[in-house]
Chain A
């Protein structure tokens, strides 16, 4: 009889633990964090796209023979503007991969453009170009930081949503795992390549 009452006490504790500590509050909080860090990622990618028209114009003036490289950047940018992800699509791995893909292609095109620019001393001495180059480097760095923050926030969220007892709350909320970024983007460091 005393064993029975002890047993019930443990069950009561377990129910209370599940109820209060099992992600009732942490899932919305962590979701908010994921969305905030995603916003930051998007803002920084957008910032990069905003820099490109000026950059292309500046380079065009000095590097007349690099038409293909410039066209590649313009096209890659156009593709990137078409693919946007809203915060509620973050569980859709295909959508997130597609986003990563177009941004990665844009990074490659930019790397080639900056590499090509190294061959033009007049361009390299141009103050406007130098300012744009430093802004681009700064933006690439911000993108790298924002990606790391996003990956971290997704990791925290996914951990709660997939482990017990968070899983139960995930089921109640209808919360799904979010898609993280595959790996550090190849060209996420400064695109100015030394030849």
Chain B
């Protein structure tokens, strides 16, 4: 019973801290295509979902498509990486997530690339996909086909003979992923110390003194469920993080 109370207390504190930090609201992650703006038809949605599901099964990378009703006054770059971190797209440690973010109201589009994939889906390639494939379709009024084309091109970047990101440990070096893991160890020790204290004191006072360091993964997924490829089981990704890599574009 005390263990659950610690757990709840830590969750409460972490949630409080998280909502205090991020003033933006994010749509719920319901699957691989989150059409908040309501611009994607059912058939297209299914097509995209199939492509993305297959891609994740083959490569292990998580790609999602999200259309937004509004950017809430911020830039698509600022919104994008926070959304990616909030959802935890990509696998923890590998950070192999990609998001195609479309904001029809502001006429902005962005390919947000996780830390681990920046070496393959480079900024230049993302920019090229946006300017050569996506924007021309968008400008002609064909948003859906622009999205589908963009997704196909993103997926094809990975099968064009490049080695899969899981073997590219050199790109991991660009991010301090080892420190990320280390930061979670002291935290676990802190939980043990907390359990000791809880026998004497209340849970909530203690959770105030153990803040989560910034670079630990937010939105940690519930782990990889073997029955659902990629760990997409409900409303969380698999704990991947983002650092602002990718490219954006706008159409008029």
Contacts and interface: CB of A to CB of B under 8 A. Distances in A.
B213 A29 contact: yes
A72 interface: no
What's the dominant secondary structure at chain A's contact region?
Answer: helix
Interface string B238-252: 000011111110000
B200 A142 contact: no
A149 to B, nearest CB: 5
Interface string B195-207: 0110011000110
B31 to A, nearest CB: 26
Contact of A142 (B206, B215, B243): B243
A13 B193 contact: no
A141 B213 contact: no
B214 A153 contact: yes
Nearest to B209: A21
Contacts of B126: 134, 138
- Ranked nearest first, the 4 interchain pairs of A and B with the lowest CB-CB distance are A138-B123, A134-B127, A33-B213, A145-B244
Contacts of B244: 138, 141-146
B163 interface: no
Contacts of A23: 209
Contacts of B246: 138, 141
Interface of A: 13, 16-17, 20-26, 28-30, 32-33, 35-37, 39-40, 43, 130-131, 133-135, 137-139, 141-146, 149, 152-153, 156, 159-160, 166, 189-190
Interface of B: 21, 75, 77-78, 81, 122-124, 126-128, 131, 174-176, 179-180, 182-183, 186-187, 189-190, 193, 196-197, 200-201, 205-206, 209-211, 213-216, 242-248
Contact of A152 (B21, B182, B245): B21
B248 to A, nearest CB: 8
B209 A26 contact: yes
A90 to B, nearest CB: 14
Contacts of A29: 183, 186-187, 190, 213
Contacts of A36: 176, 179-180, 183, 215
B200 A160 contact: no
A146 B243 contact: yes
A40 B243 contact: yes
Name which of A30, A35, A36 has the most chain B CB atoms within 10 A of its CB: A36
A149 B187 contact: no
Contacts of A30: 211, 213
A37 B205 contact: no
Contacts of B182: 32
A189 B201 contact: no
Given A29-B187, A138-B123, A152-B21, A37 B214 contact: yes
A130 B130 CA distance: 13
Nearest to A148: B78
A137 B183 CA distance: 30
Given A21-B206, A134-B124, A156 B247 contact: no
